[in-house]
């Protein structure tokens, strides 16, 4: 019995030489290790992504989505609408796109500058350094939903502490309160909250980067008579380059697809400054036009990929030329 099974598998093995694919044991083991991750990502990321791509060429809405396959196919209806200024979506698409870029770049610059400043300050030895480092990290570890609501409360026009502070400082009159969560101000508010939330991440990464710079480099610089600024410019910054690249890329991409901050801070209100994620959400879920939402998402995905790729190329190039950050 068992012999016949052995024979059977043996003959199978002889006939099916393909599965080894000429792979060595190491590669095969590596594939086994990757299998669960890839399988999960296939189900949750890739198949739905392709599916979403297909939906973007159809007319799926909240009445047809369960039976989505029978929804009408109209290849370029959604994309056409997006790029025509006289449609509901096309009228605001470009301004929304600009808003998204401003949000991403404002956040990235703010997070990096504040993160680097913090990292440099923490890199000195002083009393209470450990405490300072712990406190700086709090925004990153506090529950996001709760903290965004705190900011929303602080930004509220009539009772918010931000306006109260401005009145107290004499910057504005108590009668003309600033509406922080509407229009252009909403963009500033979102950027502030996003910076607050993410700069600790940059700070701690850069702090670790600073710690890993060999002391000899600074000694060599000081023997060469380099000033504080020159040391920073020619020793510190170039050494931080790999961390910087990671932080900037993550910040841009995470900002592009950040949903939580605009959604919770601006209260899903389409009147407010709309970054694309919120814009898409409103079309897809408030209006129930899933195909339009999918088409917009595909555009957003393509944009983030192009930016990431371009950024990747640019940083790789400059590292070949040995330039600083």
Report the site for another protein in 41-100 (rule: CB under 8 A).
41, 43-45, 47-49, 51-52, 55, 60, 65-66, 68
> Given the complex with another protein, which of 8 and 141 has the nearer CB atom?
141
165 binds another protein per the rule CB under 8 A? yes
Count other Cβ atoms within 10 Å, centred on residue 34. 11
Structure tokens at 262: 């605009």
132 binds another protein per the rule CB under 8 A? yes
14 binds another protein per the rule CB under 8 A? no
Kindly indicate which of the ranges 7-15, 86-94, 180-188, 263-271 contains the residues binding another protein, using the contact rule CB under 8 A: 263-271
Closest CA to 179 of 97, 104, 273: 273
Counting every residue, how long is the chain? Answer: 325
Contacts for 184 with CB less than 8 Å, ≥ 6 apart: 273
DSSP per-residue codes, 27-80: HHHHHHHHHHHHHHHIIIIIHHHHHHHHHTTB--BTTTSTTGGGSPB-TTHHHH
The β-bridge partners of 61 are: 289
Of 181, 187, 277, 325, which one interacts with another protein (CB under 8 A)?
277
181 binds another protein per the rule CB under 8 A? no
Structure tokens at 127: 């009393």
102 binds another protein per the rule CB under 8 A? no
| Secondary structure letter of residue 18 according to DSSP | G
Give the footprint of another protein on residues 217-256 (CB under 8 A): 242-243, 246, 250, 253-254, 256
Of 109, 157, 301, 324, which one interacts with another protein (CB under 8 A)?
301
Structure tokens at 324: 């600083």
Shortest Å, Cβ 109 to another protein: 16
> Given the complex with another protein, which of 221 and 278 has the nearer CB atom?
278
3-state helix, strand, coil in the chain (%, to 5): 75, 0, 25
Shortest Å, Cβ 80 to another protein: 19
Kindly indicate which of the ranges 35-43, 77-85, 91-99, 229-237 contains the residues binding another protein, using the contact rule CB under 8 A: 35-43
> Given the complex with another protein, which of 102 and 258 has the nearer CB atom?
258
Kindly indicate which of the ranges 11-19, 88-96, 134-142, 214-222 contains the residues binding another protein, using the contact rule CB under 8 A: 134-142
**DSSP helix/strand/coil, 289:** strand
314 binds another protein per the rule CB under 8 A? no
Shortest Å, Cβ 200 to another protein: 7
CA distance 206 to 189: 25
CA distance 138 to 306: 33
Largest CA distance in the chain: 93
151 binds another protein per the rule CB under 8 A? yes
The β-bridge partners of 58 are: 73
Give the footprint of another protein on residues 194-213 (CB under 8 A): 196, 200, 204-205, 207-209, 211-212
> Given the complex with another protein, which of 98 and 165 has the nearer CB atom?
165
Kindly indicate which of the ranges 10-18, 70-78, 112-120, 230-238 contains the residues binding another protein, using the contact rule CB under 8 A: 112-120
> Given the complex with another protein, which of 231 and 308 has the nearer CB atom?
308
Ramachandran quadrant class, 71 (left: phi over 0; alpha: psi -120 to 50; beta: rest): beta
Of 3, 4, 16, 26, which one interacts with another protein (CB under 8 A)?
26
């Amino acid at each position: 019995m068992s012999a016949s099974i052995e024979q059977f598998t043996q003959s199978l093995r002889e006939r099916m030489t393909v599965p080894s694919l000429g792979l060595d044991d190491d590669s095969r083991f590596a594939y086994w290790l990757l299998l669960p991750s890839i399988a999960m990502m296939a189900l949750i990321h890739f198949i739905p992504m392709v599916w979403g791509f297909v939906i973007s060429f159809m007319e799926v809405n909240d009445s047809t989505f369960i039976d989505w396959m029978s929804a009408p196919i109209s290849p370029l209806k959604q994309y056409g609408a997006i790029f025509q200024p006289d449609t509901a979506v096309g009228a605001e698409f470009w301004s929304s796109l600009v808003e998204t870029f401003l949000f991403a770049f404002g956040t990235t610059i703010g997070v990096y500058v504040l993160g680097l400043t913090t990292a440099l300050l923490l890199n000195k030895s002083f009393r209470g350094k450990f405490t300072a480092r712990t406190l700086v990290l709090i925004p990153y570890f506090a529950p996001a939903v709760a903290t965004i609501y705190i900011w929303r409360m602080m930004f509220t026009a009539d009772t918010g502490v931000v306006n109260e502070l401005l009145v107290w400082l004499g910057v504005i009159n108590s009668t003309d309160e600033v509406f922080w969560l509407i229009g252009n101000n909403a963009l500033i508010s979102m950027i502030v909250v996003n910076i607050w939330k993410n700069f600790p991440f940059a700070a701690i990464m850069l702090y670790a980067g600073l710690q890993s710079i060999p002391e000899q480099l600074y000694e060599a610089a000081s023997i060469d008579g380099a000033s504080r600024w020159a040391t920073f410019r020619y020793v510190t910054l170039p050494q931080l380059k790999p961390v910087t690249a990671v932080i900037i890329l993550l910040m841009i991409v995470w900002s592009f697809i950040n949903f939580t901050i605009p959604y919770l801070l601006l209260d899903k209100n389409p009147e407010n400054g709309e970054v694309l994620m919120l814009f898409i959400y409103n079309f897809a879920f408030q209006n129930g036009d899933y195909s339009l939402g999918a088409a917009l998402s595909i555009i957003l995905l393509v944009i983030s990929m192009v930016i990431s790729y371009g950024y990747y190329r640019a940083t790789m190039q400059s590292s070949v030329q040995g330039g600083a950050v």
